[in-house]
Amino acid sequence: MPDGPGLAASVAAAPASGVQPAIAVSGLAKRVADASGELTILHEVDFTVQKAETLAIVGASGSGKSTLLGLLAGLDTPSAGKVVLDGVDIYALDEDGRAALRKEKLGFVFQSFQLLPHLTALENVMLPLELRGANHARESAEMMLERVGLSSRLKHYPKYLSGGEQQRVALARAFVTEPPLLFADEPTGSLDAATGEAVIKLMFELNRQHGSTLVLVTHDQAMAARCSRTITIAAGRLV
């Protein structure tokens, strides 16, 4: 059992057994309408990720990685198939149910960061803690921003942060609740080698210390190599 009693207690919606995988994907597909009719972005994919596993998703630009990650996190709706997170079939839930599950279990780092522009760096990181009614939101957020090297940028609004700084705020926001499931889309895409290394270290620390399951989309072979498993997507299919 990779996850401790604290974590298990916080994952209240899951059935008691604890033996189910962190993520079970079956027949998952995404099709969208386009000018020429229908475009299949993701063909039916099936895979399973065990708790505390670290999975890299790699593939060329446009192959469907971000689409897949969004579907895994309940941020999109599939055209077919299922995503079961810790025993919960997320697309059988309504939108509110999925939002509650995301709040409880999930950290997500978007490829485009998606910081809230009217909140400072510190406020962006405090938000998920405040939504959970956590005590010491400010202290925890400050500590996490320090871990990503941004102690001197707490009061900056996103538009006054560099791309790499915004990415680190997005990472801090995803990590600060120590979620059992951590999804990150190109988490080091805007970072220099040393900062990227610090962020990778932080993600794998969360994995080790809290048994967090990590799913990382990356073009970085070195990061993929550090994951316990890699899946490759080409033109919307697993290869």
Ligand X SMILES: Nc1ncnc2c1ncn2[C@@H]1O[C@H](COP(=O)(O)OP(=O)(O)OP(=O)(O)O)[C@@H](O)[C@H]1O
Q: Which residues are at the interface with ligand X (CB under 6 A)?
A: 32, 34, 39, 41, 59, 61-67, 111
Choose between 18 and 62: whose C-beta lies nearer to ligand X: 62
Closest contact distance (angstroms) between CB of 188 and ligand X is: 13
Torsion of CA 165, 171, 172, 176, to 10 degrees: 170
- Total residues interacting with Mg ion, rule: CB under 5 A: 2
Calculate Rg over the CA atoms of the chain: 17
Would you count residue 63 as binding Mg ion (CB under 5 A)?
A: no
Which of ligand X, Mg ion, none interacts with 67 (beta carbon under 5 to 8 A by kind)?
Answer: ligand X
170: Cβ contacts below 8 Å, ≥ 6 apart? 109, 110, 113, 114, 115
Would you count residue 190 as binding Mg ion (CB under 5 A)?
A: no
Strand partners, 48: 24
Applying CB under 5 A, among 54, 66, 120, 166 the residue interacting with Mg ion is 66
The answer to whether 203 touches 187, Cβ cutoff 8 Å, is yes
Amino acid code (one letter) for 83: V
Closest contact distance (angstroms) between CB of 66 and ligand X is: 3
Whole-Å CA distances, 31 to 178, 231, 235, 236? 33, 21, 13, 10
Closest contact distance (angstroms) between CB of 185 and Mg ion is: 6
d(CA 199, CA 188): 7
Strand partners, 183: 108, 215
Task: Report CA 139 to chain centroid distance, whole Å.
Answer: 23
Closest contact distance (angstroms) between CB of 56 and ligand X is: 13
d(CA 97, CA 77): 14
The answer to whether 140 touches 176, Cβ cutoff 8 Å, is yes
Which of ligand X, Mg ion, none interacts with 41 (beta carbon under 5 to 8 A by kind)?
Answer: ligand X
Closest contact distance (angstroms) between CB of 235 and ligand X is: 9
Provide the mask over 147-176, with x wherever binding to Mg ion is found by CB under 5 A and - wherever it is not.
------------------------------
Closest contact distance (angstroms) between CB of 156 and ligand X is: 26
Provide the mask over 84-113, with x wherever binding to Mg ion is found by CB under 5 A and - wherever it is not.
---------------------------x--
List of residues contacting Mg ion (CB under 5 A): 66, 111
